[in-house]
């Protein structure tokens, strides 16, 4: 049985790695074994979908569950719990197993146990299992939600000794109408890359259609800012209607006067039930680089003269915002979730700056997540950049909490441990600039960015810690040019071992899941700006 969770949040599971103390074998688990615990549907566990499972204990034991579960009292979700079970006791739970991880595991210990070993932020559970002495620790504490029943887990100082792993296989559901070449492996789940692909394909669809609107095409193309641009207003009306259809509490079109033009943002709101004046914002710009007449100093034939389709920059990011809003709209969030499509990013971040500098009285932004030009990156022959900030110095990690959160999600849930290791080496070798322009195979780089060329800068300027994703930027030959189409993206993502479509679907699947996991985590526990 599968069920979508009505409330989804994420507890800080591991921010700062704690030293490993104690040695394995301190606790007495000799009377227990993996067979002391049974899990119903263990042969049909689905990755990337909320589902109901039942645990049954054949001995008195405690079980550590390091995945999203729904607390039966608060009806909120939390990342992990520790449950005591008497012999013969059964417990049913809603659980979300990682979307891109084929093996999952629970851990068994003696009943009443509070301290447990845990993997490092940059390693997978599979790697930890091979070397259990290399890791950190967590502690089970009382549930912090009103009405909550199951313990939360936080960073600890003691491992509590050895544990017994209970290992299970998962499989991801997929659409029957697709093939491997068309991204079937990332075509289903709570969110998925194929949905994003189809959104981008639609927005940038230049199939002629005289009745479809001022673009004369099926899609929404000429999305450049301008008071006299009917295509721009046509797109605003359309995206507003899409968000309204998701059932958000409200959708607002904000218009800000900026010099001689209007900056227009479309934002959907899901009001928080606990901290409504704390806003957690997920954003991407929907505008595209304007024609040369609206770009001072630009030259025809070089990056910067303008585009029409804007598939990569930035129908891709806009599509991920819409995909995320569609699944989170139904949830009872602690903090107010805000899903924004910014305008005028290409003119100098007019839309996001106007929004960030004009917040309602009493409102603060807890965190901001940005999506701009994600897609032409890993698993294609280019780096996926996971950038965070603000950055104070290049010598030190200033945003340790955000850094370790990004690592924690990527290393296990997204199965990117190896690619992240290559990304660390690439960053140390050359910094950000080559990651934006050169060829890198199997590379996912997490780093603090000294460059702020997108809407995250607007929120860093008001003291907010941010997280964002992008791929090839300055090395993309169709950057701000008319050839920025879906066809070009497919061509650039074609590799020796996979089609461009398949790689694009998996690229968007990785980024969307990463952003969703981070977003949900931050709703429960915001990540502070450490500068």
Dihedral angle at the C-alpha atoms of 6, 170, 134, 21, nearest 10 degrees?
Answer: 40
- Between 23-32, 273-282, 344-353, 522-531, the lowest mean confidence (pLDDT) is in 23-32
- For residue 349, which of 368, 325, 322, 329 has the smallest C-alpha distance? 368
At 258, the pLDDT band (50, 70, 90 cuts) reads: confident
What is the tens place of the pLDDT at every residue in 411-435?
A: 999 999 999 999 999 999 999 999 9
Domain contains 354: yes
**Bridge-partner residues for 367, per DSSP?**
280
Residue with token string 């290049």:
394
Q: Which residues of 117-150 are buried (b: 16+ CB within 10 A; e: fewer)?
A: bbbbbbbbbbbbeeeeeebbbbbbeebebeebeb
- What is the extent of the structural domain holding 65? 34-171
Are residues 193 and 161 located together in one domain of the fold?
no
DSSP code of 2? Answer: B
When pLDDT is averaged across residues 480-501 and rounded to a whole number, the result is 96
Question: What is the model's pTM?
Answer: 0.92
Are residues 202 and 144 located together in one domain of the fold?
no
When pLDDT is averaged across residues 95-121 and rounded to a whole number, the result is 96
Run of H or E including 354: helix 350-356
Domain contains 430: no
Are residues 251 and 151 located together in one domain of the fold?
no
Are residues 144 and 184 located together in one domain of the fold?
no
Count: domains in the chain: 2
**What's the CATH number where 387 sits?**
3.40.630.10
Are residues 252 and 341 located together in one domain of the fold?
yes
At 298, the pLDDT band (50, 70, 90 cuts) reads: low
Domain contains 117: yes
Domain contains 488: yes
What is the tens place of the pLDDT at every residue in 381-395?
A: 999 999 999 998 877
Domain contains 50: yes
Are residues 252 and 352 located together in one domain of the fold?
yes
Are residues 254 and 163 located together in one domain of the fold?
no
Are residues 308 and 343 located together in one domain of the fold?
yes
Are residues 199 and 308 located together in one domain of the fold?
yes
Are residues 260 and 167 located together in one domain of the fold?
no
Domain contains 20: no
Domain contains 343: yes
Are residues 199 and 335 located together in one domain of the fold?
yes
- For residue 8, which of 410, 333, 408, 368 has the smallest C-alpha distance? 333
Q: What is the pLDDT, as a whole number, of residue 7?
A: 34
Are residues 266 and 141 located together in one domain of the fold?
no
Q: What is the pLDDT, as a whole number, of residue 74?
A: 81
**Bridge-partner residues for 38, per DSSP?**
56
Instruction: Report how far residue 220's alpha carbon sits from residue 238's, in angstroms, rounded to the nearest whole number.
Output: 9
């Amino acid at each position: 049985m599968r069920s979508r969770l009505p409330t989804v949040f994420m507890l800080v599971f591991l921010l700062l790695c704690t030293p490993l103390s104690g040695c394995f074998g301190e606790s007495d688990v000799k009377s227990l074994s993996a067979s002391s615990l049974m899990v119903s549907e263990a042969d049909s566990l689905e990755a990337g979908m909320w589902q109901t499972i039942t645990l049954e204990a054949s001995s008195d034991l405690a079980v550590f569950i390091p995945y999203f579960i729904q607390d039966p009292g608060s009806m909120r979700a939390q990342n992990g719990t520790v449950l005591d079970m008497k012999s013969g006791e059964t417990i049913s739970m809603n659980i979300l197993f990682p979307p891109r991880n084929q093996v999952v595991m629970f851990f068994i210990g003696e009943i009443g146990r509070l301290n447990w070993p845990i993997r490092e932020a940059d390693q997978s559970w599979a790697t930890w299992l091979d070397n259990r002495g290399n890791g950190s620790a967590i502690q089970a504490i009382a549930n912090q939600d009103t009405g909550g029943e199951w313990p939360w887990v936080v960073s600890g100082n003691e491992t509590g000794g050895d544990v017994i792993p209970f290992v299970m296989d998962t499989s991801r559901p997929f659409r029957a109408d697709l093939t491997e070449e068309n991204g079937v492996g990332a075509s289903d789940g709570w969110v998925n890359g194929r949905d994003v692909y189809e959104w981008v394909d639609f927005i940038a669809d230049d199939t002629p259609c005289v009745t479809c609107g001022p673009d004369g095409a099926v899609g929404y193309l000429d999305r450049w800012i301008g008071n006299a641009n009917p295509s721009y207003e046509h797109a605003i009306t359309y995206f507003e209607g899409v968000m309204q259809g998701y059932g958000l509490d409200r959708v607002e079109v904000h218009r800000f006067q900026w010099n001689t033009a209007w900056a227009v943002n479309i934002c959907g709101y899901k009001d928080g039930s606990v901290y409504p004046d704390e806003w957690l914002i997920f954003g991407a710009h929907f505008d595209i680089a304007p024609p040369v007449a609206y770009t001072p100093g630009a030259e025809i034939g070089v990056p910067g003269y303008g585009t029409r389709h804007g598939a990569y920059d930035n129908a891709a990011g806009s599509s991920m915002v819409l995909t995320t809003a569609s699944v989170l709209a139904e949830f009872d969030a602690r903090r107010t979730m805000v899903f924004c499509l910014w305008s005028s990013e290409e003119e100098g971040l007019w839309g996001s700056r106007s929004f960030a500098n004009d917040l309602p009285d009493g409102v603060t932004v807890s965190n901001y997540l940005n999506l701009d030009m994600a897609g032409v990156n890993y698993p294609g022959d280019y780096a996926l950049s996971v950038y965070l900030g603000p950055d104070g110095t290049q010598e030190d990690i200033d945003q340790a909490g955000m850094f370790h959160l990004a690592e924690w999600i990527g290393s296990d849930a997204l199965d990117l441990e190896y690619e992240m290791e290559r990304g660390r080496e690439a960053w140390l070798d050359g910094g950000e600039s080559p990651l934006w322009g050169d060829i890198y195979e199997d590379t996912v780089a997490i780093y603090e960015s000294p460059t702020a060329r997108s809407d995250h800068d607007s929120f860093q300027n008001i003291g907010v810690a941010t997280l964002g994703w992008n791929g090839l930027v300055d090395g993309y030959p169709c950057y701000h040019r008319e050839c920025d189409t879906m066809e070009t993206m497919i061509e650039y993502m074609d590799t020796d071992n996979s089609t461009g479509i398949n790689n694009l679907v998996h690229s968007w699947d990785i980024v969307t899941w990463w952003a969703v996991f981070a977003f949900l985590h931050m709703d429960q526990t915001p990540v502070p700006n450490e500068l």
